[in-house]
Amino acid sequence: MDPRSEVLLRQAQLFAGPLLLAGLPSDDLLGHLPNARSWSWHAGDHGLLESRFAGRNHFGVTPAPVAAPAAVLFLPKSRDLTEYLLSALAAQLAGGDLFLVGEKRAGIERAAKQMAAFGKPRKLDSARHCQLWQVRVDNVPPAPDLEALAQYYSLQLADGPLTVVSLPGVFSHGRLDVGSQLLLQHLDGLQPGHMLDFGCGAGVLGSALKRRYPDSRISMLDVDAFAVASSRLTLAHNNLEAEVICGDGIDAAPLGLSTILSNPPFHQGVHTHYQASENLLRQAARHLDANGQLRLVANSFLKYPPLIEQHLGACTILDEAKGFRIYDARKK
Ligand SMILES: C[S@@+](CC[C@H](N)C(=O)[O-])C[C@H]1O[C@@H](n2cnc3c(N)ncnc32)[C@H](O)[C@@H]1O
């Protein structure tokens, strides 16, 4: 059980009635709180919850109508996203209770201050390196307009200008990541056909691919509903067409790909996870056509080449700069 869920269950009497759990981990919590429903924006967590607690889960960037006098937000990593989520929940909770739970090292105390806009926040519990806060929503905010919170930045690419639209919580919100910048300099010589941007974030790589290979079909995949929404906004803003998929890991990607391009994930929350990236390297061959190609950027310290060579084929380093490497491999 996630420690944040354990902290909620220490106060189980508070959560016995109708309740919305937002951004919850995919653990047993819903089993202990039979009147609770969930709202997730992580496709993996949502899928796991739905497989165990069918019909009680909502997925997307906006909350399902709360229809409950209380909601709990599990503190996300990004401060901007926290602000959006708190407002989206408080907007539906006039006179109700909004709870916030999170790890101390994830910044729960600072985040609790963001609840002061709705009433007087109170700390209810502190255990398992986590805290639980509550506010009675007396000052009801208007429902936030997510698109109004988007940040825009423009790039001068070899194929013309591109404006990237990013939403709160999306990787490298409002600016181009250094690794992605390096990968954008290495879009030549890829196999056209059906190309995938794995872990598309705000859609910068997939959009740049469509610009460089306009006759190719482009798919973009991310586990995070806010990333997927950002990628759609970026494509629309630049009049580009691509298929955007919300799914967990390479298993959710189409087969028969000519190229997989990626700045793969390696940080998640305050913990470090390589699983989605390692799975990408292990499974890429299954998703690539004969002679299909994988090109990615990664921190130089990550030991990806042996995995790539074991599961795909000879791995070449095309470039190295600012602590990042560009890897390129073709299916054997
Ligand atoms: C390093 S970021 C790159 C984002 C974007 N391509 C860019 O260059 O700015 C990695 C992305 O992978 C996504 N991601 C993390 N775990 C994933 C998973 N299991 N399946 C698909 N995408 C995932 C994250 O949400 C994040 O947007």
CATH match of 147-330 with 3.90.550.10:
no
- Domain 147-330 in the same topology as domain 3-144: yes
The kind and range of the H/E element at 187 are none
Q: How many Å apart are CA 271 and CA 265, to the nearest integer? A: 12
Q: How many Å apart are CA 80 and CA 22, to the nearest integer? A: 16
Ligand 1 probe mutation, 223, 281, 299, most atoms within 8 A of CB: 223
Tokens in use for 161? 């200008």
In the reported structure, the alpha carbon of residue 246 is separated from the centroid of ligand 1 by a whole-number distance in angstroms of: 11
Nearest CA to ligand 1 atom 20: 249
**332 residues of the chain, pLDDT tens digit each:** 999 999 999 999 999 999 999 999 999 999 999 999 999 999 999 999 999 999 999 999 999 886 779 999 999 999 999 999 999 999 999 999 999 999 999 999 999 999 999 999 999 999 999 999 999 999 999 999 999 999 999 999 999 999 999 999 999 999 999 999 999 999 999 999 999 999 999 999 999 999 999 999 999 999 999 999 999 999 999 999 999 999 999 999 999 999 999 999 986 544 445 789 999 999 999 999 999 999 999 999 888 999 999 999 999 999 999 999 999 999 97
Domain ranges of the chain: 3-144, 147-330
Q: Which of the listed CATH numbers 2.30.130.10, 3.40.50.150, 3.40.190.100, 3.40.50.620 matches domain 3-144?
A: 3.40.50.150
Task: Indicate whether residue 172 lines ligand 1 (CB < 6 A).
Answer: yes
Q: How many Å apart are CA 253 and CA 245, to the nearest integer? A: 8
Tokens in use for 83? 């602000």
In the reported structure, the alpha carbon of residue 162 is separated from the centroid of ligand 1 by a whole-number distance in angstroms of: 20
DSSP, collapsed to helix, strand or coil, labels residue 1 as coil
Nearest CA to ligand 1 atom 2: 265
In the reported structure, the alpha carbon of residue 61 is separated from the centroid of ligand 1 by a whole-number distance in angstroms of: 16
